[in-house]
Structure 1
Amino acid sequence: MSAIPQPRQRFEPWADPAAKPYIRIVNVTKSFGGFTAVDNISLDIYQKEFFALLGPSGCGKTTLLRMLAGFEIPTSGRIELDGVDMSTVPPYERPVNMMFQSYALFPHMTVEKNIAFGLHQDRVPKAEITRRVDEVLNLVQLTKFAKRKPHQLSGGQRQRVALARSLVKKPKMLLLDEPLGALDKKLREQTQFELMNIQEEVGITFVIVTHDQEEAMTVSSRIAVMDHGRIVQVATPSEIYEFPNSRYVSEFIGDVNMFEGRVIETTQTFTVIHSEEAGCEIYVDRGVSALKGAAAWVALRPEKFDVSLTPPPDQTRNCIAGKVWDIGYLGNLSVYHVRLPSGKKVTATQANRTRLKERPITWDDQVYLSWNPDSGVVLMA
């Protein structure tokens, strides 16, 4: 009889005031000559987290990862791991391993010898090496490939060898630098879930660097969004997506429609924005700290819209009308690009619950896009 799978436990140490951070980055700055790559960053990461550093190229995420690994020394500030200051500890003395995008496997060695290499360097007893290598081979499901060379493996298999080699030394923290970047889309999506399951099983703190928003949203417990050497928001994937704290975050994470306007009313429980480009008032069921008349933007995700050929009863609030000027069919959903009378172009998505031939909306149709009061996010200038 197979075992009954146990429900996953709620994991939110950052929400517990009594929880002690496992990794503490305190006022860390890294400069190269006159260029500041990391600018006075402070960040707490907790034990067993799968934490993502997300941002565009040049935002400082890889430099921060390299400082965690010990390949770069902070210009100022300190980095603590499990209560010990690691700021000046060399890489080979840190209980940390790093998995690179290139995998850096030895082509002349078999899978098992690649994995065992670091243990041999540390003079671990032979019996212990065999036991630990067998253990991680089983973990990454590569036992039957142990005698193969890297060139005899697929890209996904080589990625798992690199992961096994990083895990076999049982580090306190594993750093992953764009680890899935060399894989094709379908394999990358499959490997993301494998990576999550392995991290949960071994219980090691993972810190991943990626510019792929979907990857960060899938694998991580929390995300730090970075821009120009600074962290602009740290939150769970759902919080980052649903409640971005700035226009930068809302536009960087996923697709979004941004409506400019002015605050005409706000209380503790709601805000009303008048937007000329939307052609209506936008009602949001959350208050903001703003004066009447203040400039503001409302962020609306494409999937929040209800797309209809018939107008809703109230068109004065949370309803815009326009003409369909382009349609994208993606199988599971359709993407509608709608041009408003103001000239603004809006993107709306709808799940394809019926066959495409049964869908009534087509090019040049007049459509109405409406949304719920809890769908929008008000962002101040």
Structure 2
Amino acid sequence: MAKTLGPVKRSFAPWNDPAAKPYIQYQGITKRFGDFVAVKDLDLTIYEREFFALLGPSGCGKTTLMRMLAGFEEPTEGRILLDGQDMAGIPPYRRPTNMMFQSYALFPHMDVTENIAFGLKQDKLPKGEIDARVQEMLKLVKLEPFAKRKPHQMSGGQRQRVALARSLAKRPKVLLLDEPLGALDKKLREETQFELTDLQYELGMTFIIVTHDQEEAMTLADRIAVMDKGKIVQVATPAEIYEEPNTRYVADFIGNINILDAGVTASSADATKLTVPGIPAAIEVSRACPASVGDAAFFAIRPEKMHISLDRPVETTVNALQGEIWDIAYLGDVSIYHVRLDNGSVVKATVTNATRLVERPITWHDKVWLTFARDAGLVLTA
């Protein structure tokens, strides 16, 4: 059985099954706009009923990748298969996909019912079927009391639900979500994320979301493709992306992380020893390293995996870094300590504020020790 990191949302991991057939396949995809290469020689497989996230900074190619699947752009090279069918030459309105845009693109002169019914009327469905489908969508997104309201009479979250209902009304095989929650405030966005995952699971549909929001991708997706400069750097589950990033770029892009330049001093099948210039303590990591002794590498560790203390550790001679409190961010539930190490590097350590009172509070300019377990950090070579 494949190793699993983090919470498992459901018994669903076709990517670990060699016999599973991909539902969507990008094969050797390149997309050029003049001299600019937006997507370069890219391969990607997505499975039926998967909630898949394309994550990356602006300009990395994620929206172009989605627009090619929707039919709004054609690949310069390569092909896209959906359920075994080559999408080349098929116009957007004939593809079994529907796209929900960040702006929602609702018709301001139409009420909720009319907005949801618009695409069904364009397809010339019978009136009875249109009415039944609209009622089904209103119930699905919990907007039945707002059926006759115009978009300007609704909140941002309600308009987002209308756009979602309209996208689902035509019963596409794949729903494409282009930054769908970007216009919502933080609290509403967090609430809507869980509603989306519940809805996707209930419908049993394939959802693909484009986002630059790390937390959004981590919350929503079964798997995430991290993109950079038109290429996919890593595809994995949210927990694997966070705990086992394959490059410094991925590690730095997802969440907070401390990354120190280091050198490999010893390496075996299950352990690696490192030294960091200007820091006397050795660092040991309980995993193999692809680099050889004497090679340069990076030591990466998440702030929440570091223990901060005013007292010098007595039980270890490794993985103990000394420094001075440089800054403190109190966020209520957690405090983030910025610690300046002996070599001038500044690292972060996160402490959960589990109690209201602390007998010996750590404050600015205190000398502190940072310790961590051997399995807490990573050795990265790229």
The normalised TM-score by structure 2 is 0.96
C-alpha change, 1:358 and 1:187, in structure 2 (3 Å) is farther
Which residue identity lines up with residue 83 of structure 2 in the other structure?
A: D
For the residue of structure 1 that corresponds to 2:12, the secondary structure is: coil
Q: What is aligned with 1:65?
A: 66
Q: Summarize the Cα distance change of 1:357–1:274 in structure 2 as closer, same or farther, 3 Å threshold.
A: closer
Equivalent position amino acid for 1:230 in 2: K
**Cα RMSD, aligned residues only:** 1.2
Aligned to 2:85: 84
Counting only pairs closer than 5 Å after superposition, residues 188-337 of structure 1 correspond to structure 2 as 188-314=189-315, 316-337=317-338
Specify the alignment match of 1:140 in structure 2.
Answer: 141
- Distance, in Å, in 2 between the alignment partners of 1:208 and 1:299 is 28
Stretch deviating more after TM superposition (264-273 or 312-321): 312-321
Letter aligned with residue 38 of structure 2: A
Partners in 2 of 1:100 and 1:359 — Cα distance?
51
Q: Compute the displacement of 1:290 (Å).
A: 1.8
Residues paired across the two proteins, number: 375
- Aligned partners of 1:279 and 1:342 also within 8 Å: no
2 CA distance for matches of 1:32 and 1:17?
36
- Partners of 2:278 and 2:87 in 1: how far apart? 52
Stretches (4+) displaced over 4 A: 356-359
Kept in 2: contact 1:277–1:344 (CA 8 A): no
The code of the aligned residue for 1:234 comes to V
Corresponding position of 2:45: 44
Q: Does 1:379 align with 2:377?
A: no
Residue type of the partner of 1:48? R
User: TM-score scaled by structure 1?
Assistant: 0.96
d(CA) in 2 for partners of 1:339, 1:189: 34
Contact 1:324 1:339 in 2 (8 A): yes
Instruction: For 1:8 and 1:296, locate their aligned partners in 2 and report how far apart those are by CA, in whole Å.
Output: 34
Structure 1 position 107, deviation (Å): 0.5
User: Mind listing any 5+ residue stretches in structure 1 that lack a counterpart?
Assistant: 1-6
What is the distance in 1 between the residues matched to 2:303 and 2:368?
Answer: 15
Cα separation, 2, equivalents of 1:75 and 1:328 = 48
Q: Does the Cα contact within 8 Å between 1:265 and 1:292 map onto a contact in 2?
A: yes
CA distance in 2, matches of 1:42, 1:86: 15
Q: For residues 19 and 172 of structure 2, what CA distance do their matches in structure 1 show?
A: 25
* Alignment match, 2:121: 120
Give how far 1:9 is off: 3.6
Shift of 1:232: 0.3
CA distance in 2, matches of 1:45, 1:90: 21
Aligned twin of 2:152? 151
Letter in 1 for 2:15: W
Closer/same/farther in 2, CA of residues 297 and 314 from structure 1, 3 Å limit: farther
Q: Deviations over 1:137-190 (max 9, x none)?
A: 111110110111100100000000000000010000010100000001111111
Distance 1:243 1:307 in 2: 23
C-alpha deviation, 1:87, in angstroms? 2.6
